[in-house]
């Protein structure tokens, strides 16, 4: 094709005009939304009495272009149904979603009026990569059949009232990166099978009623960076295997459980960014959790346990910003190096510490209560040593 730029301005004007017309055509007359999918969505709208979140779901517009929370593939098949956050959506999870065979993203969340159980129909949505029922009012078990959704990347069932055990079948979700089962009423053990999900980066199971020891298999998760297990009734200590965590950044929160006994010394080898062990019954020595080589460690909370070790010679990690060792049986004096750390939060109260608080600007900024109730700590911000 040999179109020169001479004397083509009229031609190009016409050409542009044609393009313009055809684009108008596209948006006005060519709907791409698949009719079956559209009818399924209109059924859901009517099932929930045209709740406000469905206002844009107008039968005369294109569901793929004009409906909020809906996305389609190039063939007009619905791939996303994501609605959330109103009080007027009242009822159960709509089972008719099974008639959206191309659905990949399903968010039906922050609906306090959505109750009942997770319907078995969900198991048929095998293309799902993202399932979010967080902050609804769902009850019953976390069903076994969720283990059939092999393409899941993210599952969020947090903030409901699910009961029963975490199904071992979730270990079959080998593409999962993030699982949030927090703030429910789940009981029984954390299934060891979760250690098979090599892709797992975040495992949130905080605020439940989980019991038994933490499974050693979790240390086999090479990408894990968030492990909040706080507020459960987990027993035992930290598994020996946790020393083998090689992850470059790992936040572990085991606070408010029934964990007890000494921490295995192998755990000193793990690369941890934040470790929160407060409100348990851990005992013995924890000084090996610190160290010059622990360069990524920024938060250490050992508070409200029965740890008993000398603090004078602890080799404090240079990056510590938050340090809480309060309410233990820690003895000795505060290491000189404490005054040089970039501390934002510090609490050493209610221990058996003694001697002069390291001098310098940093430590005297903290409230005296953060040093109080020790055997004989003295110096600013406490009264001078005598």
Ligand X SMILES: *[C@@H]1O[C@H](CO)[C@@H](O)[C@H](O)[C@H]1NC(C)=O
Q: Which is nearer to ligand X, 42 or 343 (CB)?
A: 42
Q: Which is nearer to ligand X, 61 or 202 (CB)?
A: 61
Start-to-end CA distance of the chain, whole Å, equals 98
**Residues listed for the chain:** 386
Closest CB 154 distance from ligand X, rounded Å = 26
Contacts of 240 (CB under 8 A, 6+ apart): 216, 264, 266, 267
Using CA atoms, how far apart are residues 143 and 125, in angstroms rounded to an integer?
14
Closest CB 109 distance from ligand X, rounded Å = 22
Q: Do residues 145 and 121 touch, judged by C-beta distance below 8 A?
A: no
Using CA atoms, how far apart are residues 311 and 91, in angstroms rounded to an integer?
57
DSSP 75: T
Interface residue list for ligand X (CB under 6 A): 27, 42, 45-46, 50, 59, 61, 65-66, 185, 187, 209, 211, 233, 235, 258, 372-373
Closest CB 354 distance from ligand X, rounded Å = 15
Closest CB 296 distance from ligand X, rounded Å = 32
Closest CB 353 distance from ligand X, rounded Å = 13
Q: Which is nearer to ligand X, 233 or 244 (CB)?
A: 233
Element (H, E) at 38: helix 35-47
Which among 134, 191, 183, 179 has a CA at the least distance from the CA of 157?
Answer: 134
Instruction: Show the tokens assigned to 87.
Output: 């009080």
Q: Which is nearer to ligand X, 211 or 266 (CB)?
A: 211
Q: Which is nearer to ligand X, 176 or 382 (CB)?
A: 382
């Amino acid at each position: 094709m040999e179109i020169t730029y001479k004397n083509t301005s009229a031609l190009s004007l016409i050409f542009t005009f044609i393009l313009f017309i055809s684009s108008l055509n596209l948006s006005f007359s060519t709907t791409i939304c698949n009719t079956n999918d559209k009818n399924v969505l209109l059924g859901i709208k009517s099932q929930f009495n045209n709740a406000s979140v469905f206002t844009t779901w107008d039968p005369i517009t294109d569901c793929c272009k004009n409906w909020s929370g809906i996305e389609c593939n190039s063939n007009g098949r619905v791939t996303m149904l994501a609605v959330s956050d109103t009080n007027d959506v009242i009822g159960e999870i709509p089972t008719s979603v099974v008639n959206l065979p191309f659905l990949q993203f399903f968010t039906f969340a922050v609906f306090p009026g959505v109750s009942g159980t997770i319907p078995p129909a969900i198991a048929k949505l095998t293309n799902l990569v993202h399932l979010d029922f967080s902050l609804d009012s769902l009850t019953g078990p976390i069903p076994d059949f969720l283990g059939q959704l092999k393409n899941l990347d993210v599952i969020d069932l947090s903030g409901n009232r699910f009961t029963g055990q975490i199904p071992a079948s979730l270990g079959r979700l080998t593409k999962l990166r993030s699982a949030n089962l927090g703030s429910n009423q789940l009981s029984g053990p954390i299934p060891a099978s979760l250690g098979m999900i090599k892709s797992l980066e975040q495992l949130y199971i905080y605020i439940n009623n989980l019991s038994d020891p933490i499974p050693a298999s979790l240390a086999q998760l090479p990408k894990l960076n968030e492990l909040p297990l706080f507020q459960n009734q987990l027993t035992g200590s930290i598994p020996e295997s946790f020393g083998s965590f090689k992850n470059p950044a790992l936040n572990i929160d085991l606070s408010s459980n029934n964990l007890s006994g000494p921490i295995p010394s192998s755990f000193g080898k793990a690369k941890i960014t934040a470790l929160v062990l407060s409100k348990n019954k851990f005992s013995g020595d924890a000084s090996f959790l610190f160290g010059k080589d622990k360069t990524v460690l920024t938060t250490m909370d050992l508070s409200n346990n029965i740890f008993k070790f000398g603090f004078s010679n602890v080799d404090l990690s240079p990056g510590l910003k938050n340090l809480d060792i309060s309410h233990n049986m820690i003895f000795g004096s505060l290491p000189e190096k404490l005054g040089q750390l970039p501390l934002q939060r510090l609490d050493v109260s209610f221990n058996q510490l003694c001697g002069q608080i390291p001098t310098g600007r940093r430590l005297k900024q903290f409230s005296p209560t953060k040093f109080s109730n020790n055997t004989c700590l003295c110096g600013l911000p406490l009264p001078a040593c005598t």
